[in-house]
A and B are shown apart, each in its own frame.
Chain A
Amino acid sequence: MKYLILIQSNPRTLEIWEAMSDQQRMEFGRGHRKLTGEMEEAGVYVASEGLADPSLAKWVSVRDGRTIASDGPFAEVKEHLAGFYLIDCASTEDAIAWAAKVPDAANTEVEVRPVLDMSGWEF
C-alpha cells in the first residue's frame, strides 16, 4: 500500500518556524534528511520533496486549446502544501508510525492519505 504523508504550511506552523533559532532550523532539516535515509534503509521509500514557496506557483489552465499560466491567487490561501513523503508499506499503522517520525509532527500535525491502487473486486 502506498501512502502520501503531507506536510502543510499554515499561520500556526509559520509561527512555530519563525520562533525557531538557526540551530533548531538546522536540526529540523537534518531530521528530514535522516528520515529519508531511514525510509530508504527500510525499503519503504518511494519519493519525498520539499516544495518552493507558493508565490512561485503557476496556475495552469487550458481553454479552447490555449494554455494559460498565471500567478496566484496565492494571497488569500492561508494553507499550502510544503512538502511530502510517498511511502510503500504494509498497513495504515506502519504509515502512521512513519508519519510520527516527520519532524513537523512534533510541532503541528502531518496528514496521512492512502493512495488509490488499481485493485478491483468482482461480485
Chain B
Amino acid sequence: MGVLTGIEDLLRAAAPQVLAAVVRRYGDFDTCEDAVQEALIAATRQWPVEGVPDNPRSWLITVAARRRIELLRSENARRSRESQVAADPTPEVRGDDELALLLLCCHPALTPVSQVALTLRAVGGLTTAEIARALLVPEPTVGQRISRAKQRIRDCGARFAMPDPDDLGERLTGVRQVLYLIFNEGYTASSGARLHRVELTAEAIRLTRQLRDRLPADGETAGLLALMLLTDARRPARTRPDGALVPLAEQNRALWDAAAIAEGVEIITGALRDTRLGPFQLQAAIAAVHDEATRPELTDWRQIQLLYGMLHALAPSPMVTLNRIVASAMVDGPSTALAALAEAAADPALAVHHRVAAVRAHLLEMAGDPAAAREQYRLAARQTLSLPERLYLESRAARLA
C-alpha cells in the first residue's frame, strides 16, 4: 500500500508537468491530454511491477509522446503530419508551464463544470473514473464534459501560453474560483463514508498550494489557501458519526486540526500584512477568528462583524449579508439583528434566499420566542437543498416543541 500511494503521489505531481511539456512542444492540447492520460495509466500498471524508472517524468513524457503519435496515426485525416511530428526532439519540463496549463483548463470560455473536470484530470492527474466517483456522476458524463471542454478550447483558439500581463489578474480570479469550486464540491460531499473516493478538498488544497508556490506575492491565492485550510481544519468536528451536522457553537474544538489552523493563520496574517486586500483574504480572516477561539464564548464577534462589513463593501452577496446579521446578533443582540434581517429581506434578491428563514429562526430563538423560532426552523427545513441541513433544522424545531 505504501509503495502504491508513493507511486500515485508521484504520478499526480508529475501529471501537469508532463502534460505541459508535451503540449508546449506539440501544441495540440486535445490529443496531448489523451496521450498523457494513457501514459499515466500505463505507469500505474507497470511501475508497481517493474519498479519506478530513474527519471519518472522523462519516462512519462516519452510514453506520452509515443502514444500521441499512435493516436494521431489512428486519425486518417492527420496522417500527413505524423512523419514530421515523429522527428521532433523530446519535450522537457519547464517552470511556468504548469501555471499556463492551469490557466488553460480554467479558460473563461468553458463552463464551470467543464473547468472543474478538466482541471482535475489535466492538472490534478486524476482519471475520469476517479473524478466521476468524486463528483457522484457517471463516468461517461465526466468523459463527455472533458471532451467538450477540450473541443471548446480548440474552437475558441485558446493557446497554451501565459496570458498578457494585463489579462493575468482576471484569469487568475477565474482559476481561484475553479479551485474553490473543487474544494466546495469535496466539502459538500464529505459526509458519510465513501471508500476509495478521492478527497476533492485535499486535491483543491494541493492545487492551490502549488499555485501559491508559483505566485507567492499574490494575496488572494494566499487568502484562498488559508480559507481552505482553516475551513477544512474543522471538518472532523463538523459532522457526527451518523452524518448529522454540528453547528460551529457546538463543535468539539479539540477535534479541530491544530496544524492546519496554525498554517492557515500564518498564511492569512502574512497576506493581510503584505498584499492588497481581497474577498478570499477577508473570508480567511473570518475563519481564522473562529478557529482561534478555543471555546465558542471566546469568539471575537466584534472582529467578525467588522470583517463581514468589509467583505460586504468589497464583494456583497446574500450569504455575506446573512452572516453579517448573525455576527451582529452576537454583538448587538437579537432584536437589532432581527430588524436588520427584516430590512435586508426587503431586497428581492435576498427575500427568496432559502437561508433567510434559518437565520430568522436562529435569531428568534436567541430572542426567546420559541414558538416563532420553531415555525421558522420548519420553514427553513422545507426550503433547504441540503440533507444534513434539513435534518439539523428539523431537530432544532423539534427541540423547541
Contacts and interface: CB of A to CB of B under 8 A. Distances in A.
Contacts, number: 83
A90 B136 CA distance: 14
B188 A117 contact: yes
A41 interface: yes
Interface stretch (B16-24, B74-82, B263-271, B383-391): B383-391
Interface centre among A40, A46, A89, A120 (most CB of B within 10 A): A120
A84 to B, nearest CB: 15
A18 B54 CA distance: 71
A121 B389 contact: yes
B388 A118 contact: yes
A99 B111 CA distance: 20
B141 A43 contact: yes
B362 interface: yes
B344 to A, nearest CB: 15
A119 interface: yes
A47 B141 CA distance: 10
Interface in A59-106: 88-90
A116 B144 CA distance: 24
A75 to B, nearest CB: 32
A45 interface: yes
Contact of A119 (B112, B113, B137, B386): B386
B144 A41 contact: yes
A122 B247 contact: yes
Interface residues of B, number: 43
B59 interface: no
B140 interface: yes
B92 to A, nearest CB: 34
A118 B114 CA distance: 22
A6 B46 CA distance: 47
**Interface of A, helix, strand, loop or mixed by DSSP:** loop
A46 B189 contact: no
Nearest to B190: A118
A90 B111 contact: yes
A60 B329 CA distance: 49
Nearest to B384: A116
B138 interface: yes
A120 B248 contact: no
Interface centre among A47, A114, A117, A121 (most CB of B within 10 A): A121
Contacts of B387: 116-118
A41 B326 CA distance: 44
Contacts of B192: 118
A31 to B, nearest CB: 21
Interface centre among A46, A47, A88, A89 (most CB of B within 10 A): A88
Contacts of A16: none
Contacts of A40: 140-141, 144
A46 B191 contact: no
Contacts of B238: 120, 122
B287 to A, nearest CB: 10
Given A88-B137, A122-B238, A123-B362, A116 B148 contact: no
A122 B238 CA distance: 8
Interface string B232-255: 001000110001010110000000
Interface in B203-239: 234, 238-239
Contacts of A2: 136
B188 A90 contact: no
Contacts of B117: 43
A46 B113 CA distance: 14
18 contacts: A40-B140, A43-B148, A44-B141, A45-B144, A47-B138, A88-B137, A90-B111, A116-B384, A116-B385, A116-B387, A117-B188, A117-B189, A119-B187, A119-B386, A120-B191, A120-B238, A121-B389, A122-B248
